[in-house]
Structure 1
Amino acid sequence: MTRLTGLLYGLAALASLTTAKPVCRDESTKFEAEDAVLSGTEILTTQSGFSGTGYVGGFDTSTDKITFTIPSSSTKLYDLSIRYAGIYGDKKTTVILNSGASTEVSLPSTDFFSTVSGGQILLNEGTNTLEIVNNWGWYLIDYILITPSAKREAHNINTSLVNPAASTEAKTLYAYLRSIYGKKILSGQQDLSYANYVATLTGKTPALVASDLIDYSPSRVAYQGNVSQAVEEAITHHQRGGLVSILWHWNAPAGLYDTSENPWWSGFYTRATDFDIAATLADPTGANYTVLIRDIDAIAYQLKRLQNAGVPVLWRPLHEAEGGWFWWGAKGAAPAKALYHILYDRLTNVHGLNNLIWVWNSVAQDWYPGDEVVDIVSADVYAQGNGPMSVQYNELVVLGNDKKLVAAAEVGAAPKPDLLVAYEAHWLWFCVWGDSFINNAEWNSPAVLTEIYNHDYVLTLDEIQDWKTIGAAQL
């Protein structure tokens, strides 16, 4: 090799080092958005405070995205941080690792570049791809940061329920749930008919069935009469040894529009009623407050039927409040939390419903009604790909200070157990929504469902027949 050839070789090698992609090892590694592959997006520089030579915007159609190439020296779990600017309001983005499971990440409104957790990503040894895809759109991405994940510490879950008068059945169930937390996950399905569908498809019946008290709402009964079989279905599953979760799509007590665009049966949506929860709570002597309490009492009657049948209930009222699409969350966090406290007080102290285990259903810190009225924290996650939902899990661990059990109360896609274990996402249960999700191969293919339901990490109905004995032994 001549001196000139050697010099040229050395310069080429130096250039390759300065332009090579950073490799994730045992330290934090930054990947600038402007260096990624852009699809329908563009490099911008007008927003101050960015890192590197620019940032990426233009997320305005469903296919717009950034694709990062991430080399890793080993198979390892990393924390993902996303630096963004939410100058156009609250948004959401979708993160997809290696063309697999998708994760929905909230990007709160900001006036400047800020950092948000993107959950965790399990990088394979070699080359990985990470996509940030439009979702709600109109946000700016500066860079992502990849940091090796710390080992999850042991949980410190509360030993008692928030209701000091909780029934023996409720305490026994809670003790059982604590005994399996972090070791197994309970399989769950919305509606008994779809639980039976899963049994036919996979050969295994979900351990948990969720029922909806929607049709017991007095404003629905007024239109259609008493048609619901939700309580009977819950009792049926309990009698075959299963666990029961109950939610309530609360049709507004009054003020239903009942138009062709917003018919009476859609009255739980904000768009379908003029019922104002803030104004109602501000006037306890008003007519709307009276019908609010009437509705709670009507639901108390149904819950008491379950109590009389010896059914402990994982009770999830006012779900998805922070979304604002249901009337109980339409006026913000304060009225929603106040309503939750009214529900807790009336059902517990007036109606003596001691069979309820209280499940809160939001990851947002400012919507949390307080440790004193919540036994389990949960989230509803609709992301395709059967992923571990680690973003929401970790947010809920923080919300409950790791003293509350954490559940995936509604999911579009059942999570793959191997990913749950790898990500240390210790969801207590998952519950797949019914029509258009459990029976939709784009969300849950028969092969994947069969794999999930026959995995050792997943508990099914036949595997929890001794839950009462195990729970009682913990008391």
Structure 2
Amino acid sequence: MCALASRIAGTFAQSTTLKFEAENGVLSGTTVDSVQSGYSGSGYVTGFDTAGDKITFNVAIDATALYDIGIHYAGIYGEKKTTLVLNSGSSNEISLPATSTWATASGGQLLLTAGDNVLEIISNWGWYLVDYITLTPAEGRPPHQITTELVNDESGPTAYKLYNYLISLYGKKILSGQQDLKWANWINDTIGKTPALLSVDLMDYSPSRVERQGDISTAVEDAIAHHEKGGIVSVLWHWNAPIGLYDTSENPWWSGFYTRATDFDVAEALANPSSANYTLLLRDIDAIAIQLKRLEAAGVSVLFRPLHEAEGGWFWWGAEGPDAAKALWGLVFDRLGEYHGLSNLIWVWNSIAEDWYPGDDLVDIVSADVYAQGHGVMSTQYQQLLKLGNDTKLIAAAEVGSAPMPDMLQAYGADWLWFCVWGDSYINNDDWNSIEVLKEIYNSEYVLTLDEIQGWATS
């Protein structure tokens, strides 16, 4: 246990909830109003319409401890997001669902240190109302109860070897990870350490891309090479729409995984199994099955993360809402497992909202993609995923902009199983990941690198 985590051990017994009225905070670019009825105190804060608009709360705490934060807000202008910053350090992005009246959103947990602390709620998407925040001492969490069975009946020894290894690590260590072999090599050259986990993208195996550019991807070869070095492989799929690509200067064919770049309607295709578009969905899944079978033949266990970030709606597989996305997940799951008999896949779901979740019987690992600067613990997303999987599912930070600081992860009890930093403009950008900080992270005893996981597949 790190020194910081040791200092806060046993500090969960307090029971007093602290409440801070927004109108009493220090306002920057924001104003107090009272038009929306039902508020607490003498008013609420509005005017979050430019990037720097914020409320600053000064919070004095007697002893260092973890606190659950609640934001009482009104999302009368639709679904929004806010940014929470603690002591001018790491930031956390918090979703504020659309509401017609006042509601409370969880801001995850904050480690407040003894003495004075500064909390800032900063505009982000803007256009919401804030009434007050609450800080409640966090309760101790019981041990994780991770299910030991994979959801796919076809799962074989290769998949179970990796899954059992991951369970043995959970809550004790975090796997370092990097998107794309080029940037994993860059880390090795720059830091002197190689990530334990490599993520590759099957994007260029999508038939609508292959027919335009040929078979140019080396993702499978990269994955096999990392596996042969004793590494762990994660696979995502930017699925270029099967048909209906606009192919304009604004939306070229290669951007066809975006909702804005195609008129392909996934809900309509799924509703008509005899249609040509449904057949094209199967064609595309079958094309990916060929690549996954290559990995299976090479003995590669695959952390498979299709349909990522579905709830965002910016990819076509999420454009028609949760029911269509879940139905497509079920189709991919059945086609690869039952029809193709793939036995090496561990299924990683990648959205947080409960109404998008396919269900415990179709998901092995829950995950989030978090792009926030400052090397924070992503506490809000971790707490949401704990709830989503009822703490029976492993939890991963499948994509991050900034790698998290190990000592803070331990102090917060944010037991992310792995982090995976995105590639160009993130891993090699000082605004997101400085060389100095990366060296600190990669040399931490809590962070596992490639040299430290050797033998997991054969032990």
Which bracket does the TM-score occupy, shorter chain normalised? over 0.9
Alpha-carbon separation, structure 2, partners of 1:201 and 1:181 = 28
Deviation at 1:466, TM superposition (A): 2.2
1:31 aligns with 2:20: yes
Q: Show the counterpart of 2:9.
A: none
Q: Show the counterpart of 1:300.
A: 289
Alpha-carbon separation, structure 1, partners of 2:274 and 2:160 = 37
> Structure 1 residue aligned with 2:228, among 235, 239, 245?
239
> Structure 2 residue aligned with 1:410, among 388, 399, 407?
399
Deviation at 1:282, TM superposition (A): 1.2
Alpha-carbon separation, structure 2, partners of 1:116 and 1:210 = 32
Deviation at 1:291, TM superposition (A): 1.0
Structure 1 ranges of 4+ moved more than 2 A: none
Alpha-carbon separation, structure 2, partners of 1:178 and 1:128 = 36
> Structure 1 residue aligned with 2:453, among 447, 452, 464?
464
Q: Show the counterpart of 2:258.
A: 269
> Structure 1 residue aligned with 2:430, among 429, 437, 441?
441
Alpha-carbon separation, structure 2, partners of 1:134 and 1:246 = 34
Tell me the percent identity: 67
Q: Show the counterpart of 1:425.
A: 414
Q: Is contact 2:230-2:457 (8 Å) kept? A: no
> Structure 2 residue aligned with 1:139, among 128, 144, 147?
128
| SS of match in other structure, 2:125 | coil
Task: Return 160-169 or 238-247, whichever deviates more.
Answer: 160-169
| SS of match in other structure, 1:392 | helix
Deviation at 1:319, TM superposition (A): 0.2
Deviation at 1:202, TM superposition (A): 1.4
1:83 aligns with 2:83: no
Deviation at 1:469, TM superposition (A): 4.3
Alpha-carbon separation, structure 2, partners of 1:355 and 1:394 = 29
Q: Give 1:255's aligned amino acid.
A: G
Alpha-carbon separation, structure 2, partners of 1:325 and 1:229 = 26
TM-score by length of 1: 0.93
> Structure 1 residue aligned with 2:149, among 134, 138, 160?
160
Give the unaligned 5+ runs of structure 2: 1-13
> Structure 2 residue aligned with 1:123, among 112, 133, 153?
112
**Structure number with bigger Rg:** 1
Q: Show the counterpart of 2:201.
A: 212
1:366 aligns with 2:355: yes
Deviation at 1:164, TM superposition (A): 2.4
Deviation at 1:198, TM superposition (A): 0.9
Deviations 1:332-359 (A, max 9, x none): 0001000000000000011111100000
Alpha-carbon separation, structure 2, partners of 1:333 and 1:26 = 38
Alpha-carbon separation, structure 1, partners of 2:334 and 2:285 = 11
Q: Is contact 2:154-2:342 (8 Å) kept? A: no
Deviations 1:232-253 (A, max 9, x none): 0000000000000000000000
Q: Give 1:322's aligned amino acid.
A: E
The 5 A counterparts of 1:221-370 are: 221-370=210-359
Q: Give 1:70's aligned amino acid.
A: V
Deviation at 1:460, TM superposition (A): 0.4
| Number of aligned positions between the proteins | 447
Q: Show the counterpart of 1:390.
A: 379
Give the unaligned 5+ runs of structure 1: 1-24, 471-475
Alpha-carbon separation, structure 2, partners of 1:164 and 1:340 = 16
| SS of match in other structure, 1:444 | coil
Q: Show the counterpart of 1:191.
A: 180
Deviation at 1:74, TM superposition (A): 1.4
